[in-house]
Amino acid sequence: MSYNEKALMHQLEMAAHSPGTAQFLFNLIRGGFITKQQAEDTMDFCIAKMKRDIESNPNLNREQKDSEIAIRESWFNALKTSMGL
């Protein structure tokens, strides 16, 4: 993975944790900095990473993990929908 790809993935991951994420990503797509496919792939990566991080947390029981994953996954899916992905 090139430096630019790593930087882009980092920017998108950080955007997923801040207000205005959909607008930020939409501006990247509209400006031609990334394609819709790249944005969708990155969002899918963020969802998978989030699931892995929650699953590996030893301080949560199965019910808490499932609940947290469902909440965060619905947020990511709403974000993808608002971006038209």
Question: What are the DSSP E strand ranges found in 1-85?
Answer: none
Q: pLDDT for 54-63, tens place per residue?
A: 899 898 899 9
Q: Rounded distance, CA 53 to CA 35, Å?
A: 27
Give the pLDDT of residue 8. Answer: 66
Structure tokens at 83: 């971006």
Give the pLDDT of residue 21. Answer: 66
Per-domain boundaries in the chain: 3-83
What does pTM read for this prediction? 0.61
Give the pLDDT of residue 20. Answer: 66
Residue 70 is which amino acid? A
Give me the torsion for CA of 11, 17, 19, 24, rounded to 10°. 20
